[in-house]
Amino acid sequence: MKIHSLFNDKSDLYEKARPVYPDEIYRYLVSISPSNLKAWDCACGNGQVSEGLSHCFEGVIATDVSEQQIANAKQFDNVIYRVMPSESTDFPDDSFDLVCVAQALHWFDFPVFWPEVKRVLKPDGVFAAWGYTWPVLPDEIERIFHDQILNVIAPYWATQNSLLTGHYKDVEFPFERLSSPKFEMKVEWNLDQFFDFIKTFSATRRCTEEHGEAFLDAAYEQIETHWSADEKPRVIPLEFVFYAGRNTE
């Protein structure tokens, strides 16, 4: 299965269920970039990060290999969307003050991607990557989530996902790392929203295509008894990883 096929036919679910990144990230990124003229959002998906960048940079180029994600992306006057692999672009040298990747760095072919990023980044330009991994849940809900969901879908994760869940510790970034704030990511979800989020996992998609959603239905019923008696949304922190580095070469 091609990587982009995992995300093609669920762009509506992605837009509804994927968490929104803190605005502080974009303010920080523009503050450390050489200027606010131009940013490149790699693997932009439905344009969530592109929107955040559009408020801080004069121009944003957003690319993705998924035609459907690009077709459904949010439109902004200063954002240009293109269907294009991040490893091979037609951008001129020294084009961007910022190149960033959210929730997708682990999919890239690094031996090809890094030279391309360094080529299109301006001198002293900034590369940033970030993503979230697991929700931080109360013990009883965590047990069900782990035993009834994560254990079931575990064989269906691509090997690349371990780079994200390992908080990028095995990624060799070719930049001078910058000291960054510790960003926190929290969501406010009811139970249906929580399960919509679970359904956006690439491993969940692979698993349900093969076995159906009965395991999700069973887990839903078990978690429902612990979620919230008054059905109010829960505030759920997400484990979060962030990297920023400067192009000094």
Amino acid at the residue 75:
Q
Six-digit token string for 97? 């003050």
What local confidence, expressed as pLDDT, does residue 120 receive?
98
**Distance from C-alpha of 221 to C-alpha of 201, rounded to nearest angstrom:** 20
Model pLDDT for residues 172-213, shown as the tens digit of each residue: 999 999 999 999 999 999 999 999 999 999 999 999 999 999
What local confidence, expressed as pLDDT, does residue 191 receive?
93
> Which residues sit opposite 59 in a β-bridge?
38
**Polymer length in residues for the chain:** 249
Q: In the chain, which stretches have pLDDT less than 70?
A: 1-15, 229-231
Class for domain 3-246, per CATH? alpha beta
**Distance from C-alpha of 79 to C-alpha of 32, rounded to nearest angstrom:** 21
The reported pTM is: 0.90
What local confidence, expressed as pLDDT, does residue 249 receive?
75
Q: What are phi and psi of 208, to 5 degrees?
A: -70, -30
